[in-house]
Structure 1
Amino acid sequence: MTVGEALRAAAERLDATSDTARLDAELLMAHALGVSRSDMLLKAMRDPAPEGFAAFVQRRAAHEPVAYITGEAEFYGRVFAVQPGILIPRADSEAVIETALSASPDPRRVLDLGVGSGALLLTVLAERPEAVGVGIDASAIAIDVTGKNAIALGIENRLDLHRHDWRVAGWADDLGSFDLVLCNPPYVEADAALDAQVRDFEPATALFAGPEGLDDYRILIPQLRALMNPAAVAIFEIGANQADAVGTIAQAAGFAVELRRDLAGRPRALILR
């Protein structure tokens, strides 16, 4: 079977479990071949399909995310290593980057609360070469993966990582103050219905935040002032229906709030000043 024939068969098989069956098949095939997707499409469609491809398709048919199978995800034009235990970066979160770059065009110190794969913090550092960053996360896996991604991007010398849990008193004592704070906290309601590829594979600790999805906002926002320089801004990612609730939490803590939307027009980021 050729690469092209295997792709057609895989897309048909994955159609029942994925809204992006053909794209999934192409990404998995490129990974199996060890080439870029564009090179595969241009040069390899008549080559024999690699043996490992069928196993990748089987995993995807069982709802495992493509990013966990390939070990990487693209975000803001860069490739980030990911693995189980790390939340997979979403294209929707690129709105947080756009918001941060416009609201804080020249930050010197940047803090990421819940660094995960490093996608938010490392992207801002890559876009702002004069900035230095600090990332915290309760997960040792996240700290390790972010460190590796920083090395791959050549910005490890501008990054400090700390394993801190903001649910534990004293977590922020040694961090200092910042010009820009980024945060994509857990914000999914505890009883929310999620796709199997999210529910069964991505870390619950990075997804769920109590019955309203607001627990971590309530913990973090009242503590922000001690971490922010006088002219600093904080950018929080929010769920599509959470702008009013999170805005109320922020206003009660003394912040002015501005909403930004993603490319689909959905509420996506709040600027806190």
Structure 2
Amino acid sequence: MTFDALLKNAAQRLQLAGSPSPRVDAEVLMEFATGRSRTWLYTWGDSECPTWEHARFDALIAARAQGQPVAYLTGEREFWGLPLATSPTTLIPRPDTETLVEAALARASTPTGRLLDLGTGTGAIALAFASEKPDWQVVGVDVRPEAVALAADNARTLNITNATFLVSDWFSALRSSSPSESSPGSPSPGSTFEIIVSNPPYIAADDPHLGQGDVRFEPRSALVAEADGMADLLHLITTAQAFLSPGGWLVLEHGYQQAPSVRQALKLAGYQSVESVQDMGGHERVTLGYLE
């Protein structure tokens, strides 16, 4: 079969399987399966597809039709223009989270400073910020060693040298009683940050969206929080105060219906200039405030 025919059939199959972007999925998987660019496929699509490339493409389409995320099948997802390696052990970076990066950059008013990314996963937020602010020190932490290793690999691949990643259950690794207990390259025990950001778990355990789309295959521990999805957000709002520099900002991503609750919690905890920022879909996705 020709490449054009294969793509047409695959897109139809993925549409029937419920993919929200069947043609794009098919093209991305074709690029990955064959090593041919989308431009080549548009130009030479009437060429015959080699048998082994056909077989590999069919296997990827079958997996996608079962619901496997494209980012896990290809092992890569672009975020903030950066190609990031992905893994089933981490969340897939999403365009809406670029709202969090934009909000953090807008508050990075000094030439140098320190930013902490809690629950860094692939390192997407930390690396996006670090790429824009090379004179800032960026620290990303995650409770999962495999996520920390992935984020560090992404930093090396992108040659981003001002980002460090370490294993930490939220702030736990920043509380060492002596420098010798800290990981190499980690912040000193008493360090503080001008900006702390996080995209924590914020989905309620009974949310029906957990049974839909890509989230079915993503790590549940990175998605679900107790107290109707608010537990980790509330924990960070309280705990971050000890790690923020005077005038430091806390910037949090949350669910599209959680903004009023997050604003209230920040105000009750003493944060100033509390506001929410809309994502590309017009939903209040990020809420932030600073401490005097």
TM-score computed with the length of structure 1 as normaliser: 0.94
- Residue 186 (1) aligns with residue 208 (2): no
Shift of 1:18: 0.3
CA spacing shift, 1:46–1:105, aligned 2, 3 Å: farther
State how far apart, in whole Å, the 2-side matches of 1:183 and 1:235 are: 7
Please tell me whether residue 29 in structure 1 is matched to residue 37 in structure 2: no
Cα 1:140–1:213 change in 2 (3 A) is: same
Structure 1: gaps (5+ residues): none
d(CA) in 1 for partners of 2:199, 2:281: 18
Letter in 1 for 2:99: A
Conservation of the 8 A alpha-carbon contact between 1:104 and 1:233:
no
- CA deviation profile, 1:194-248 (whole Å, cap 9, x unmatched): 2533343100011001141101012111111111111221210011000111112
**Alignment partners' CA distance in 2, 1:102 and 1:126:** 14
Q: Deviation at 1:269?
A: 0.7
Shift of 1:172: 3.1
Aligned-pair CA distance for 1:40: 3.1
C-alpha separation in 1, matches of 2:172 and 2:71: 35
Q: Which residue matches 2:289?
A: 272
Alpha carbons of structure 1 residues 36 and 140: separation in structure 2 relative to 1, 3 Å: farther
Q: How much is the aligned-residue C-alpha RMSD, in angstroms? A: 1.6
Q: Counterpart of 1:240?
A: 256
1:84 aligns with one of 69, 88, 92: 88
Letter in 2 for 1:201: F
1:140, CA displacement in angstroms? Answer: 1.2
Aligned to 1:20: 21
In structure 2, C-alpha distance between the alignment counterparts of 1:131 and 1:221, rounded to whole Å? 23
When residues 177 and 43 of structure 1 are mapped into structure 2, their CA distance, relative to the original with a 3 A threshold, is farther
CA contact (8 A) 1:109 1:180 kept: yes
User: Structure 2 vs 1, CA of residues 36 and 103 (structure 1 numbering), >3 Å: closer, same or farther?
Assistant: farther
Aligned-pair distance for 1:60? 0.2
- Distance in 2 separating the partners of 1:179 and 1:218: 20
C-alpha change, 1:230 and 1:211, in structure 2 (3 Å) is: closer
CA gap 1:52/1:269 in 2 versus in 1, 3 angstroms: same
Alignment map for 1:1-273 (pairs within 5 Å): 1-16=1-16, 17-44=18-45, 46-48=47-49, 50=53, 51-106=55-110, 107-155=112-160, 157-166=161-170, 170-174=172-176, 175=187, 176-194=191-209, 195-256=211-272, 257-273=274-290
Once residues 159 and 104 of structure 1 are traced to their aligned partners in structure 2, the CA distance between those partners, rounded to angstroms, is 16
CA distance in 2 between counterparts of 1:159 and 1:78 reads: 14
Quote how far apart the aligned CAs of 1:36 are: 3.4
> Would the aligned equivalents of 2:126 and 2:163 in 1 still touch at CA under 8 Å?
no
Amino acid in structure 2 at the alignment position of 1:264? G
Do the aligned partners of residues 42 and 130 (structure 1) sit closer, same or farther apart at CA in structure 2, a change above 3 Å counting? farther
SS of 2:262's partner is helix
Identity of matched residues, %: 35
In 2, distance between residues paired with 1:57 and 1:35? 17
Cα pair 1:116 1:143 within 8 Å, conserved: yes
Aligned to 2:180: none
Q: Partner of 1:54: helix, strand, or coil?
A: helix
Distance 1:47 1:101, change over 3 A: farther
| Pair 1:28–1:105, CA change in 2 (3 A) | farther
3-state secondary structure, aligned to 2:232: helix
Show structure 2 runs of 5+ residues with no match: 177-186
Letter in 2 for 1:193: P
> Separation in 2 of the partners of 1:21 and 1:128?
36
Larger radius of gyration: 2
Q: Answer whether contact 1:217 1:249 (CA < 8 A) is retained.
A: no
Cα shift at 1:159? 2.2
